[in-house]
Chains A and B, each alone.
Chain A
Amino acid sequence: MKRVTIEPITRLEGHGKISIFLNDEGNVENAYLQIPELRGFERFCEGRRAEDMPIITPRICGVCPVAHHMASAKALDSAYGVEPTPTAKKLRELMYSGYIIYDHTLHFYFLGAPDFVVGPDAPPSERNIFGVLKKVGLDVGREVIKHRAYGQRITEILGGKATHPTSCLPGGISKGLNEKEKEDIEKMARSSVEFARFTLGIFNDVVLSNKDYVEMILSDPYQLRTYNMGLVDRDNNVNLYDGDIRVTDLKGAEFDRFKAEDYLDHISEHVEPWTYSKFTFLKKVGWNGLRDGEESGVYRVGPLGRLNAAEGMATPLADEEYDRMYETLGGRPVNSTLAFHWARLVELLYAAERTVELASDPEITAKDLRNPVGDPGEGVGVVEAARGTLYHHYKLNDEGLMEKVNLIVATTNNYADICMSIREAARGLIKRGEVSEGLLNKVEMAFRAYDPCFACSTHAYPGEAPTVVDIYDSEGSLLYRRERNLS
C-alpha cells in the first residue's frame, strides 16, 4: 500500500496532517486528516467559577472568540435558568453580527480568494493576500481592511474588546449602547452591506464567470452528499445567534429539529484511535464510518450546511442571493464543497443587513440589560460560529463552580466531512500511483472551504504550518517527499 502524507496544512489553524492511503492498484483507498494534538481545554475549566467561562473560553481560539463567548454566555443563561432581557438579546446579536462580518471577510479575501482569484494552479508564493491584491487592486484591499476593522469595531463597542470580548453575562450583557455608538454602528453596517454586495460581485466576476471554476465547483471530487445542520428561526431562515437546530436530509427536507438543551438526544460523538478530534454524527442514523449518503449519520455545518439546513435568509438582499445561489447550482441542497465560499458571502451580506436592522432599532439603546439569575444547574448554549454549529454544555455545582464541561465545535461537526472531502479530491488526482502536480493545492482547497480550525476542534495550540507531502510505496517505504516552503 502506498501512503501520501500532507502535513501540516497551510492556512489552517493549529496542526494537522493528511495521510492518503492507496490500494494495490495505486488508487486512493482512504484519507485521514489526523489531528495529533490534545489541549484538554474542557478539563482545565473544571472547578472554575461559572461566571469566568465566557472570559476563559474565547481564549480557545483567537479566530472565533466571539462565538465561544456567546455560546458560553448562553450556556450560563440556561444553567442559571434565566432569559436575557429583550435589549440584551439584541445587543448580543448585534455584537455577533459584527463578528461574522470580520470573520467571513477575512476568510474570503485572505484564505479562500487566493485559490480562486489568484488561481488554483498559481505558485504557492503568489497564492496569498498579496497575490489577491495584485489581481483586484489596492483600492479593494483598503476596503477589505476597512470593513474587517468595522466588524471588529462593532464587536469592541459591544464586547469591550474586539478579540476577546467580556461583556456577556448570564441573564444579559454588562454594557448598553449610547446614541453616538448606535449611529456609528449603523454607519459602519450600511457601508458593510455595500461591501458585501461588492464582494459577491467579485465572486460573480472572478469565479462564476469562469467556466473552469464553475466546472471545478460542480465536479465529482468536490461533491459530498450528507445531511446538513444549522440554527433556524421560526420561518426556517438562517439564524446565527439563536433558534432551533434543524437538520435536513439529502433531498433538503426537514429530518430533525431540536432545542439546544436536547442535543445529546440527537447527536453523538465517535472516537477514532488515530486522532485527538472526535467525530459527531446523527443518533437517528448512526455512525457508519467515513462515508456519505443517507445511511451515514455524518452531517455538514458551516455556511453551506446552514444554508442547506434552512429555506432562506431573513434579510432581503441576502435572501435574493440565497435564491440565486441555489438556482445557479441546481437547487437545494447543494453538495459541492467549494460552494462553501459562495454561501459564506451570502452570510456576510446577511450579517451586514442584520447589523443595520439591529443598530437602527430605536430600542437598542434601552437600559434593560440584565435579568437576575436563578440557582446554578445545568445548561447548554448553542450559536452558529462562522465555521458552524457550536455547543457549550456546562454542569455547575451548588456553589456555581464548573463540574463538567463539554464543547462541540464547528470543526468537530465537520470533521468527518473534511476527511471525506480530502479523500474525494485526492481520488480525482491520484490515478494508478501517479500523483498529479496540483494535488497539494486541490486537496487543500477541499478542506479549506470548510475554514476548519484545529485550535478549536482539539482545543489545541496553533503553530507554524509549512506543508510536507510524503508518498510511500506499497511496502510503506518512502518514495519521495515533496515540501512546500512558504518563505
Chain B
Amino acid sequence: MRNAVVGIGNLYRRDDGVGIHAVNRLRGMDIDIDAFDMSTANLELLDYVRGREKVAIIDATVIGDEPGTVSRVKLSELRTTGMPGSHGLYLTSTLTLGYQLYPDDMPKEVHLFTVEAGDVETFSEELTPRVEASIPRLLILVSETLS
C-alpha cells in the first residue's frame, strides 16, 4: 500500500486549513502518495493510516511562533490522554489506540508537520501570505519524508 499524507483542519477558518490546502496541492501533483483530509484527528484517521509504511500528518498550530514556521514535531511531545471537548480524541490518543488495537497494521513511521498559523479567526478559505509562502517548503519536506 502507498504511503499517505493526512491534512487536518478547518478549511473555512483561514490558516487552520493549511494542512488541507497542502494535501489538495499534493493531490494535483504526480506523486505516489495517497492524500486525505480531516476536520479533527478522530477515529477515521486509523482508516487512512492502517496498512501503510509511512504516514505524514499536517496540522496548523497557534503556539506563538512566527506565522508560516514549519516544524517537525515528535509525537512523544504531544499530550496522550484526555479528550478535547466531549466527543473527540487527541491525535496521539487516536494513534495510541491504533497501535494498541492493530499493532501489526499501523505505520512504522508517523511524521507530524506543523505550520504556525497567522489567522484562524477570520472566515476565509484563503491562507495569509506567510502561511501560503510556507507551503512549497512543506511539500518538499513531506514528499522527501515519504519517498
Which A residues lie at the B interface, using CB under 8 A? 9-14, 59, 62-63, 106, 110-111, 125, 128-130, 133, 138, 141-142, 145, 148-149, 152, 162-163, 451-453, 455, 462-466, 486-487
Contact = CB atoms under 8 A, between A and B. Distances in A.
Interface in B16-69: 39-40, 42-44, 46-47
A142 B86 contact: no
Contacts of B87: 11, 13, 62-63, 106, 110-111, 453
Interface residues of B, number: 25
B1 interface: no
Given A138-B101, A141-B97, A142-B101, A463 B43 contact: no
Contacts of B97: 129-130, 133, 141, 145
B51 to A, nearest CB: 14
Nearest to B123: A44
Given A142-B101, A487-B79, A162 B85 contact: no
B82 A128 contact: yes
A163 B86 CA distance: 16
Nearest to B83: A11
A141 B100 contact: yes
Nearest to B50: A145
Nearest to B46: A145
B44 A152 contact: yes
B81 interface: yes
Contacts, number: 87
Interface string B81-94: 11111111100010
A246 B43 CA distance: 36
Contacts of B79: 487
A227 B46 CA distance: 42
Contact of A463 (B80, B82, B84, B102): B84
Interface of B: 12, 39-40, 42-44, 46-47, 79-89, 93, 96-97, 100-102
Given A130-B81, A464-B85, A149 B47 contact: yes
A111 B86 contact: yes
A122 to B, nearest CB: 13
A453 B100 CA distance: 29
Contacts of A466: 82
A60 B5 CA distance: 27
Contacts of B88: 62, 462
Contacts of A463: 84-85
Given A149-B43, A486-B81, A130 B100 contact: yes
Nearest to A11: B86
Contacts of A138: 100-101
A466 B83 CA distance: 9
Contacts of B102: 142
Contact of B101 (A9, A13, A141, A453): A141
5 contacts: A12-B86, A129-B97, A141-B101, A466-B82, A486-B83
B39 A62 contact: yes
B44 A13 contact: no
A13 B100 contact: no
B101 A465 contact: no
A465 B84 CA distance: 6
Contact of A145 (B43, B80, B85, B96): B43
Contacts of B96: 130
Nearest to B39: A62
Nearest to B12: A59
B83 A10 contact: yes
Nearest to B82: A486
Contacts of A455: 85
Contacts of A111: 86-87
A145 B47 CA distance: 10
A133 B98 CA distance: 12
The residue in B44, B46, B93 that gathers the most chain A C-beta atoms within 10 A of its C-beta is: B44
Contacts of A59: 12
B86 A145 contact: no
A36 to B, nearest CB: 15
Nearest to A454: B86
B39 A465 contact: no
A475 to B, nearest CB: 34
A4 B93 CA distance: 31
Contacts of B82: 10, 128, 466, 486-487
Contacts of A130: 81, 93, 96-97, 100
B39 A145 contact: no
